[in-house]
Structure 1
Amino acid sequence: MPTKAHPRYELTLFMFLLAIVAVLGFSPRSRVDWALENLLVLLLVGTLLAVYRQFRLSAASLTLVFVFLCVHELGSHYTYSLVPYDRWCSAMTGFSFNKTFGLHRNHYDRLVHLSYGLLLVYPIREVLLRLTPLRGFWLFFVTLNIMLSTSAVYELVEWVGGAYLGDDTSQAFVGAQNDPWDSQKDMALAVLGAFISLLVVALHSAVRQPLMPTACRKKWNQRG
């Protein structure tokens, strides 16, 4: 079973997250969009704090959640459509993603959705592993479907928000950038990221099992 994070490490991540939210919350490009995006952060962190005494995530899962929230916070400061990642890359390395790959839109939102699958599927898998009897293929399948379902719910939230917010705030929150297939692409990237991470976990388990003594291997198989 994954090792629980040390309380000091948990506190360190929490304090760093508060600092990042505070810094990136200073003079965001759109205060309304920043507030809306951070409702999701508040919900996730609030849930982790609410169940802390009954259920604590491993250090690996907490680290992945922290990294994803940092990526998300950067997007909430600039809005997903306007994060100047290409300008930063060009200034530091002289390399331009947009020019090199012929990109005509800001793809930071795509990165965040890919990161959602890559980074958060492991914590979801851990929760299922510890709270349900799911193992093997069904653990893989249900975890992947949860990532797809939650990604779809987020796209529905964007749709509802876009329908009732003002034009500027709506464009900042939805971030479609005139792409009619934006929602489908975002969900596909989330599932792709989740699939890659689950595949890495499965390969890691497959490599480790032959190296284990028989007794340890049986316990490992029972854990999933």
Structure 2
Amino acid sequence: MDYPHWLLVGFTLFWFVLALRPHDRTVWLAENALSVTAIVVLAVSYPDWPLSALSYALIAVFLVLHTVGSHYTYARVPYRALIKACIRQDRSPASGRNHYDRVVHFAYGLLIAYPLYDLLERYAQPVGIWSYLLSPALIMASSMAFEVVEWWAAELLGGSAGSDYLGAQGDPWDAQKDMALATAGAIIAMVPTAMLS
């Protein structure tokens, strides 16, 4: 088995463990629809359009972060307990907004921009600076599309499941902040990519 297959096996085991008892099964199903779709697309495209090992590793890290969010719901991920355990001191606020959602939106841009760059370089071969601008543009566009789909899904789910899926936590600018963080992550990812290319 090669590296991408090992990543798939490892991620699948992790996913099944967190699928056993999610906080809210309805939210979990909604959150995982895109993950499963992405994995199927990656698996089907692998023989003809493979990506680099780095791209698959970055995608796997993002999927792990997303899987944790879907298990707990993004607003309930106990990251503060992890911080407290790691530094043996609680410097995070005890209450208030759970920022895990924002971290994962930033991670989306940071971790998925390079695989998009890799895909474009291998199969579209953009010229000059476009190599480094197209990935952030695609992250921005896909982030906006996700926010619209998230809004529709929240409306469809309704009630507390819809609210948990949306994860806005009372912030009227949540969608805009999420899109901005994803874009910032993508721009940051392209800086070392441009410097090393």
Residue 194 of structure 1 is matched in structure 2 by 186
TM value normalised by structure 1: 0.84
Which 5+ residue runs of structure 1 have no aligned equivalent? Answer: 1-6, 206-224
Residue 127 of structure 1 is matched in structure 2 by 119
Check if 1:178 corresponds to 2:176: no
Deviation larger for 63-72 or 161-170? 161-170
Alpha-carbon distance in 1 for matches of 2:192, 2:81? 32
Q: Which runs of 4+ in 1 moved over 6 A?
A: none
Q: Kindly indicate whether the alpha-carbon contact (under 8 Å) linking 1:98 and 1:104 is maintained by their aligned counterparts in 2.
A: no
Alpha-carbon distance in 1 for matches of 2:10, 2:80? 26
Alpha-carbon distance in 2 for matches of 1:191, 1:103? 27
Alpha-carbon distance in 2 for matches of 1:133, 1:77? 38
Structural mapping, 1:63-78, within 5 Å: 63-78=57-72
Residue 55 of structure 1 is matched in structure 2 by 49
Structural mapping, 1:15-164, within 5 Å: 15-99=9-93, 104-164=96-156
Alpha-carbon distance in 2 for matches of 1:156, 1:174? 10
Identity %: 38
Higher radius of gyration, 1 or 2: 1
RMSD: 1.4
- How many residues in Structure 1 have an aligned counterpart in Structure 2? 197
TM value normalised by structure 2: 0.95
Which 5+ residue runs of structure 2 have no aligned equivalent? Answer: none
Matched to 1:33, the amino acid is V
